Structure 1
């Protein structure tokens, strides 16, 4: 770009913390999309380790001259301590979120654009917001009382201001929830999904399932283990690779439970934690199947499975249905583990059907890529400045 840094328009991006997961990936790739064209400042509670995040998410942010990180908390406070408090105490998480909202509103007045990559937000002025889900920073109406009401008052949080922002959604499923929650329309931009997976012929892949994402209770990893144990009991010698996604600081007890289960079943379960991006690609390249138990607003890990040429089994509701395709009913299971086991067994015992599914799933792959995501984010911001 010919313009100097001083001549570029200034964009303030709000993302309060980086604890791992899909929202983090989206935020980092939004920064990746913006820094070649704008002078970008990331407002966050504590300085993230950009070198580490680049390794985990295949971004290239640590050396970007057009990116400035503006921590909103004093540098004397330990980032690891703040992360633990956010992960384990909902009231402290809420308090820090609203403190960050208040601070951001007071610090963003000199910028040409404000952009929340962490859900719907009152930024003190009209901007762009990318929603992974609804009522994340703002409360659900029936919960707007007591502590929550106090926090909203502290940050001066205006729902009317939030509704004036241009909204982006991670799926049509989420867009419908945004309409119900806020009465506003949103533009769907699917999250960035890796594309450069080594192509391993099906016959050379492992008879293994991938379960990818943070190892937390909400992801129901223990139920994935139960489902695949039942599949094994039906005579299918499948393996399970569990990857910890972006990692982060979350409650440790559940993670320990999963590690213990894996140790007891080490002949068929392997757990990988905080894998560098290149190593993660090697794991997913060699798995034939994927499984995801939790209904998701989108489900980046499921999209990665599709892009990697796997056959993924997912819940029948949520954004992940858009990824797999609603027409692939045999890959969609309900809340009953027995239903999941039956769907998996039916596919496993029909090699010809597996080949047909793989061919059909290829049509879904073009919906998701980092290149498509970058182009769409850049177009939204360019349009914003043209209006």
Structure 2
């Protein structure tokens, strides 16, 4: 049994990266002494209900959490500020690093003083060196403070990436290519046959500007204008950080009797919607993986997403499932409804037991080394 530190800057935004963190803890907790090191204020019990996990690890919140909470007070347009949180987390963890045999980062790349497995959703430092990426003005500052300003990752770090697209970015920045390990996504129980499913669209994602739920509303508006009687379920976790935006989403839903908003829905409710509807819609361009898109595929739905990022891999690059603009999305979904398009992608490709086995295998390999 090894002493394992799982590093995750914050779980308070309740997105796909946070689901990966909970699943990593779940994968390792039976065989190792696991401590989750995080600034997050969210309770593990709440996250278990959201992500359908059963985590019982110790949780350590360093004193720097007060600074992380101060970042929560920044206006929405400043974004989640994950790089400075990770800089703080690395410095806080350095005080306790000797207490552990190995670290597992589920919050991207770190310069750590002990052997590690690092799961990269997308590089958080040195982003200005990635082709086509927009990096903030402070990217050089945070990269230097992170210990990665020279673009050299620790030699004893084993790298994993959520998609080939992310792996390309890591290789471009750091000259090392991670192993692709897709995030865990289980099929919902008891999916309905196609003929018994509702002709409706499900959108799963944070009620935040980057996920663009308001775009989903406009897309369904457009498909309905073409004569298709589709309804829309917006299923999103909410954060105090994006309270104003969430209110705009709620207002848009209230103005339409065919748009239904489900805030902070339990996993059972999400699974029920996925198992009983035909279409899934993602609206965020350049998703690093696209957990929601994978959920739609696992549920036996026809999924649609922007033609960029890791979600292209999930949908096999199919032109009849991918779109560039809102107008293109309307035409793509309307065509699928017209032709009664059916799902074709394998449903069990991203099952959580596969993910757990891969994580355990990589941790064991680093410990053996």
TM-score normalised by length of structure 1 = 0.86
Tell me the SS of whatever aligns to 1:349. Answer: helix
- CA RMSD, aligned part only? 2.6
Cα distance per residue 1:167-207 (max 9 Å; x no partner): 10001111111111221110011001022332212222211
Q: Which moved more, 1:249-258 or 1:218-227?
A: 249-258
Alignment-derived partner of residue 202 in structure 2: 210
Using the TM superposition, give the Cα deviation of residue 157 of structure 1 relative to its aligned residue in structure 2, in angstroms. Answer: 4.9
Alignment-derived partner of residue 13 in structure 1: 6
CA distance in 1, matches of 2:24, 2:37: 14
Alignment-derived partner of residue 286 in structure 1: 276
What is the 5 A alignment of 1:264-343? 264-265=255-256, 267-295=257-285, 296-326=287-317, 328-334=318-324, 336-343=325-332
Using the TM superposition, give the Cα deviation of residue 273 of structure 1 relative to its aligned residue in structure 2, in angstroms. Answer: 0.8
Q: 1:170 to 1:101 in 2, by over 3 A?
A: same
Q: 1:150 to 1:79 in 2, by over 3 A?
A: closer
For residue 55 of structure 1, the aligned residue among 49, 56, 80 is 49
For residue 354 of structure 2, the aligned residue among 351, 360, 372 is 372
Cα distance per residue 1:89-118 (max 9 Å; x no partner): 569765443222111122112311111110
Q: Please, which runs of 5 or more residues in structure 1 have no aligned partner? A: 1-7
What is the 5 A alignment of 1:1-387? 8-18=1-11, 19-61=13-55, 64=56, 67-73=57-63, 77=66, 83-85=72-74, 89=78, 94-134=83-123, 136-137=124-125, 140=128, 151=142, 156-157=147-148, 159=150, 162-164=153-155, 165-245=157-237, 247-265=238-256, 267-295=257-285, 296-326=287-317, 328-334=318-324, 336-351=325-340, 354=341, 357-358=342-343, 360-361=344-345, 364-387=346-369
Using the TM superposition, give the Cα deviation of residue 84 of structure 1 relative to its aligned residue in structure 2, in angstroms. Answer: 4.2
Q: 1:212 to 1:90 in 2, by over 3 A?
A: closer
CA distance in 2, matches of 1:129, 1:87: 28
CA distance in 2, matches of 1:286, 1:248: 27
8 A Cα contact 1:46 1:73, kept in partner: no
Alignment-derived partner of residue 4 in structure 1: none
Max Rg structure:
1
Q: 1:86 to 1:72 in 2, by over 3 A?
A: farther
Q: 1:202 to 1:146 in 2, by over 3 A?
A: closer
Cα distance per residue 1:59-95 (max 9 Å; x no partner): 101xx3xx211111278x5997664459675697654
Q: 1:90 to 1:292 in 2, by over 3 A?
A: closer
Using the TM superposition, give the Cα deviation of residue 375 of structure 1 relative to its aligned residue in structure 2, in angstroms. Answer: 0.9
CA distance in 2, matches of 1:145, 1:202: 45
Alignment-derived partner of residue 3 in structure 1: none
Q: 1:309 to 1:95 in 2, by over 3 A?
A: closer
Using the TM superposition, give the Cα deviation of residue 46 of structure 1 relative to its aligned residue in structure 2, in angstroms. Answer: 4.2
Relative to its length, the structure with more helix (as a share) is 1
CA distance in 2, matches of 1:145, 1:193: 31
* Aligned residue pairs, count: 363
Tell me the SS of whatever aligns to 2:113. Answer: coil
